[in-house]
Amino acid sequence: MSGLIEVGRILRPRGLKGEVKAECSTEERLVELKASGKVLFEKNGVQKELKIAEGYWQNGFAYIRFDEITTVEAAEEIRDGILLITQEELPPLPEGGFYQFELVGFELFTESGEAVGKVTDVIDYPTCDALEVSLKAGGHATIPMIKAVIKGVDKEKKRITVSRSALEELL
C-alpha cells in the first residue's frame, strides 16, 4: 500500500442519522472520496475503514454519510477525525494532470532555467491554489498557481517552470 493522502476532516455531525459535515480542500476531494468508495478514518492515532454511503458538496463543505455511522452519537465520536485514502484509490488524471501533494519537493525554475527554489507545500486559497516555496536566495514565498505565473509542470523531472516577469512582481 502506498502512502496515505489526507482528503478531509470531519467538522461535526449533521442531522440525526449519522451524516457529517466535512472540510475538504476542494469539491474534487469529495469526488476522490466517492470514487474510492471507502476511506480510512483516523483520530487520536486510531484508524478504521469507513464505507461511504453517499456524499455531496454544498456551500463549500462536503456532507458525507458512512454505512457504519447511523446515529448522531456515532457521528459525534468521529468529530475532528481525518479522512485518508491511498494513492491507488485516487481517480485517474487526464493527460498532463497532477495532484497537489505530488508537487511538494518539485524544483522551481524560470523559463530561462534559473533556479528559484523548492516547493514545500501547496495551499488551497478560495481564489486559487498557491505554492509555498523555499527560495534559493533565502526565505519563503507564496506563488499563485495561475497561468500568468506557472508556465509548465514536468512530473518526470519534478520541475515547475515559472514566468520570470510575473515572479519579479510577486517577490
DSSP code, position 16: T
Specify whether domain 100-170 bears CATH 2.30.30.240.
Answer: yes
So what's the pLDDT on residue 140?
Answer: 93
Residue 146 in grid coordinates: 495561475
Pairing of strands 159-162, 107-110: parallel
Q: What is the pLDDT of residue 28?
A: 63
The helix (run of H) or strand (run of E) holding residue 169 is: helix 164-170
What pLDDT score was predicted for residue 1? Answer: 42
Q: Using alpha carbons, select from 8, 23, 19 the residue that is nearest to residue 65.
A: 19
Q: So where are the chain's domains?
A: 4-89, 100-170
CB 110 within 8 A of CB 136: no
Model confidence, pTM:
0.66
- pLDDT tens, 58-97? 888 889 999 999 999 999 999 999 988 887 777 777 887 8
Fold of the domain spanning 4-89: Elongation Factor Tu (Ef-tu); domain 3 (2.40.30)
Phi-psi sector, 116: left (phi>0), alpha (psi -120 to 50), beta? alpha
How far are the Cα atoms of 13, 63, 73, 112, 153 from residue 59, in angstroms, in the given order? 16, 10, 24, 42, 31
Per-residue b or e along 77-99, where b marks 16 or more CB atoms closer than 10 Å to that residue's CB: ebeebbbbbeeebbeeeeeeeee
pLDDT digits (tens), the chain, 171 positions: 458 888 889 999 999 999 999 988 655 666 666 666 788 899 998 999 999 888 888 888 889 999 999 999 999 999 999 988 887 777 777 887 888 888 999 999 999 999 999 999 988 787 888 999 999 989 999 999 999 999 999 999 999 999 998 888 877
